[in-house]
Amino acid sequence: MSLFDHKVSDLHELLHKKEISVTDLVDTSFKRINEVEDQVQAFLTLDEERARAKAKALDEKIGQADKKGLLFGMPIGIKDNIVTKNLRTTCASKILDNFDPIYDATVMGKLHQAETVTIGKLNMDEFAMGSSTENSGFKETRNPWNLDRVPGGSSGGSAASVAAGEVLFSLGSDTGGSIRQPASFCGVVGMKPTYGLVSRFGLVAFASSLDQIGPVTRTVEDNAYLLEAIAGHDEMDSTSVNVQIPNYVGALNGDIKGLRIAVPKEYLGEGVDEVVRQSVFHALKELEKLGATWEEVSLPHSKYALATYYLLSSSEASANLSRFDGVRYGYRSPDAQNLLDMYKKTRAEGFGDEVKRRIMLGTFALSSGYYDAYYKKAQKVRTLIKKDFDDIFQKYDVIIGPTTPTPAFKIGENLADPMTMYVNDILTIPVNLAGVPGISVPCGFADGLPLGLQIIGKHFDESTVYKVAHAFEQSTDFHKQKPQL
């Protein structure tokens, strides 16, 4: 049994009673990394020396009288698009291979305050563009449940490292499903918070109107603790909202009597595997037993979400990624004759195929003569997609469906055609377009591969989402199962 089989609150108790040390926790991480990292390949950069030094320093503080925060000493992995001061941050792109940031993302500052220990930086699809982590410029992360399968993406390293027990928990980012989809594929809990809840300062921007940082954990309770630690208004991010952060863990009382659940028929339709559909109906039965009621509803514009998302996210990406020009940081092509040539060669050599494809799509959609037909049209459809959610939330507390249409697919299976890969995110994308919070919790297995239940809430109502996820988790034992590595 690993120390990481305990919840954060239990580990906190053990630390407090001096039955374990922070060094023990950090040892647990690196020992497990030594055992399984060759197979899983979740990390791009390990920060072992500093992690061990920090553990030692924290251990010396344990005896001191001042109250330690709950996350004190907990080992965490960080997705590699979150900027970490003096710790290589690549976004899994060759263009940032040697990037050594001079500042910390706001979430990192908050974690330092909470005194967590950063173990390393986690693999991802390059610039978070992808659904399998196969678009990483550096390595192929594998699903701990079946090494021939993808871990999902883009936060594949974040989900795989937690599932494999290499870290207690991790941070990911979610633009169209990039936390929830890998959490579903790897059998862990992944939360995409309301847009604006967590500061994006220091999150390397992909699509600024959709990106959110969120926690990946073994349990719902740990997830709630980690979100509480990273949420909150930040003057460095003008889109971060000044709201009181509730005590999410306080909401985990198991009481969902009278809860009204909406189940969109579009989320259980064509393209969704029968085994996935059945797992959702089992989950709904479980929630009914706990006193909730559910009804089938319609989110009529769901089928347009994928096209809307690819136009908007690629347009925003084409603007955001213009900063990678070989001038101030990152890779520069060595054999350019003039400035324009340097820009073009640097970007051609530094970016991978998927990133180039999206920059091209976005540049096209924003270009003169096409702006109204594609970009503006997509923004208008986004209004309708958001309204679908607003309408449903007039009558219901949460929306429930699967996180993904299928369990984890085989490595290489969806690489040939970009469209088949994009379809993977069809159930998670509408949530980002509407800006509402969504979580994936384990809800079953298909041939040994985990399945995820997606619970979607109202803007800034993470408490209800967590409450439902926790009640479901506690009435099932899917979260207790672990991959055999």
Partner 1 sequence: MSRISTEQVKHVANLARLAITEEEATRLTQQLDKIITYAEQLNEIDTENIEPTSHVLDLKNVLREDIAKPGLPNEQVLKNAPDHQDGQIKVPPIIE
Residue with the two structure tokens 């799509």: 361
Q: Is 420 in the site for partner 1 (CB under 8 A)?
A: no
Q: State which residue, 69 or 300, has the beta carbon closest to partner 1.
A: 300
The answer to whether the beta carbons of residues 352 and 90 sit under 8 Å apart is: no
How far apart are CB 350 and partner 1 at their closest, in Å? 10
Q: How far apart are CA 254 and CA 292, in angstroms?
A: 11
Q: For 162, what's the count of Cα atoms within 13 Å in the CB-facing half-sphere?
A: 35
- CA dihedral (7, 164, 179, 240) in degrees, to 10, reads 50
Piece of 76-84, 215-223, 254-262, 432-440 that binds partner 1 (CB under 8 A): 432-440
Residue with the two structure tokens 């003169």: 368
- Residue in 307, 126, 90 with CA at minimum distance from that of residue 206: 126
Of 10, 19, 100, 148, the one binding partner 1 (CB under 8 A) is 100
Q: State which residue, 433 or 449, has the beta carbon closest to partner 1.
A: 433
φ, ψ for residue 446 (rounded to 5)? -130, 115
- Residue in 169, 148, 396 with CA at minimum distance from that of residue 293: 396
The answer to whether the beta carbons of residues 136 and 117 sit under 8 Å apart is: no
Q: State which residue, 274 or 372, has the beta carbon closest to partner 1.
A: 372
Active-site residue flag, 178: yes
Of 129, 361, 443, 449, the one binding partner 1 (CB under 8 A) is 361
Catalytic choice (29, 131, 132, 154): 154
Q: State which residue, 205 or 275, has the beta carbon closest to partner 1.
A: 205
Of 145, 331, 393, 472, the one binding partner 1 (CB under 8 A) is 331
Q: How far apart are CA 74 and CA 485, in angstroms?
A: 23
Site string for partner 1, 438-477 (x = CB under 8 A): ---------------------x------------------
Q: How far apart are CA 361 and CA 313, in angstroms?
A: 10
Of 19, 327, 448, 480, the one binding partner 1 (CB under 8 A) is 327
Q: Is 85 in the site for partner 1 (CB under 8 A)?
A: no
How far apart are CB 314 and partner 1 at their closest, in Å? 9
φ, ψ for residue 169 (rounded to 5)? -160, 175
Q: How far apart are CA 316 and CA 206, in angstroms?
A: 7
Which H or E element spans position 471? helix 462-474
Tokens of 153: 């993406």
Residue 466 CA to its chain's centroid (Å): 16
Instruction: State the angle between helix axes of 22-40 and 48-62 in degrees (0 to 180), rounded to the nearest 10.
Output: 160
Active-site residue flag, 79: yes
Q: State which residue, 68 or 345, has the beta carbon closest to partner 1.
A: 345
How far apart are CB 63 and partner 1 at their closest, in Å? 37
How far apart are CB 332 and partner 1 at their closest, in Å? 4
φ, ψ for residue 192 (rounded to 5)? -105, 110
Of 24, 97, 418, 474, the one binding partner 1 (CB under 8 A) is 418
How far apart are CB 297 and partner 1 at their closest, in Å? 20
Q: How many residues bind partner 1 (CB under 8 A)?
A: 67
φ, ψ for residue 293 (rounded to 5)? -125, 150
Of 301, 467, 470, 479, the one binding partner 1 (CB under 8 A) is 301
Q: How far apart are CA 86 and CA 103, in angstroms?
A: 8
φ, ψ for residue 333 (rounded to 5)? -60, 130
Q: Is 357 in the site for partner 1 (CB under 8 A)?
A: yes
Q: State which residue, 166 or 354, has the beta carbon closest to partner 1.
A: 354
Q: What is the DSSP string of 27-90?
A: HHHHHHHHHHHHHH--EEEE-HHHHHHHHHHHHHHHTSSSPPPTTTT-EEEEETTB-BTTB---
Active-site residue flag, 154: yes
Q: Is 64 in the site for partner 1 (CB under 8 A)?
A: no
Of 121, 180, 200, 347, the one binding partner 1 (CB under 8 A) is 347
Piece of 59-67, 157-165, 343-351, 477-485 that binds partner 1 (CB under 8 A): 343-351
Tokens of 377: 């049209």
Q: How far apart are CA 424 and CA 386, in angstroms?
A: 20
Alpha-helical (H) ranges within 254-338 are 274-289, 305-320
Q: Is 298 in the site for partner 1 (CB under 8 A)?
A: no
Q: State which residue, 155 or 194, has the beta carbon closest to partner 1.
A: 194
Of 4, 206, 343, 466, the one binding partner 1 (CB under 8 A) is 343
Of 383, 395, 410, 481, the one binding partner 1 (CB under 8 A) is 383
Is residue 438 left, alpha or beta, with left meaning phi > 0 and alpha meaning psi from -120 to 50?
beta
Q: State which residue, 58 or 434, has the beta carbon closest to partner 1.
A: 434
Q: Is 344 in the site for partner 1 (CB under 8 A)?
A: yes
Piece of 13-21, 65-73, 251-259, 334-342 that binds partner 1 (CB under 8 A): 334-342
Residues in 244-273 at the binding interface with partner 1, rule: CB under 8 A:
none
Q: Is 322 in the site for partner 1 (CB under 8 A)?
A: yes
For residue 227, the one-letter residue type is L
Catalytic choice (132, 136, 170, 178): 178
Interaction site with partner 1 (CB under 8 A): 98-100, 102, 195-196, 209, 235, 238-239, 241, 301, 303-304, 306-308, 310-311, 318, 322, 325-332, 336-345, 347-348, 351, 356-357, 359-361, 363-364, 367, 374, 376-384, 386, 418-419, 433-435, 459
User: Residues with catalytic annotation?
Assistant: 79, 154, 178
